Amino acid sequence: MSESKIHMSYPIPSAGGCPEREIQYKTCLPEEVDKAIGEKISKYFDLVWYARKPPSWDTETDYWKNSKPENRKKCYDECSKIEELYPEEVDELRCPTSGNWHHGFNSGCLAAFRYIIDACDRSDYSIMYEEDPFFDPENPVEHDPLKHAEENFPQLDT
């Protein structure tokens, strides 16, 4: 069993910042597979998040006009990082004839890789449940990774 972390940093303008987000999990996958899937999740998360933003040069959209200047800057900076990391993919997303197809492909990849990680998750959730004020020790919650994966699929939050 391997133990991995997926690290994502992304701006949430309405929340007023660029929080660091780290997801930790243990899976039943070999470590190198686990790491590769984590990298794919991070990549497709970034691309899906990026595609959901109006272009930074289109400052007249309500999205940008209604954002605080400091949040707008954080968002622009994060977009610039994604453009630098994935220039070919960003060009594909900007293509007027096939950009929507590429966004759909990226979204499907994100959902599929998240499904695999969820289905293979072997993390110990007992501590989390015991800290829950509604936890009933007489009826402990069993974590069923495949059921969880099925219920969350397709999970496309960014």
Check the CA dihedral 94-41-62-11 and report its sign.
negative
Do the strands 2-9 and 20-27 form a parallel or antiparallel pair, or are they unpaired? Answer: antiparallel
Neighbours of 113 (CB within 10 A): 21
Q: How is the chain split into domains, by residue range? A: 2-152
CA distance 153 to 157: 11
CA distance 15 to 126: 30
Asked if pLDDT for residue 142 goes beyond 70, the answer is no
pLDDT tens for each residue of 104-138: 999 999 999 988 888 887 665 555 555 666 666 66
The amino acid occupying position 78 is E
pLDDT tens for each residue of 26-80: 777 788 888 888 889 889 999 999 998 877 666 677 777 777 878 778 888 888 8
pTM: 0.70
What pLDDT is stored for residue 4 in this prediction?
Answer: 52
CA distance 99 to 84: 18
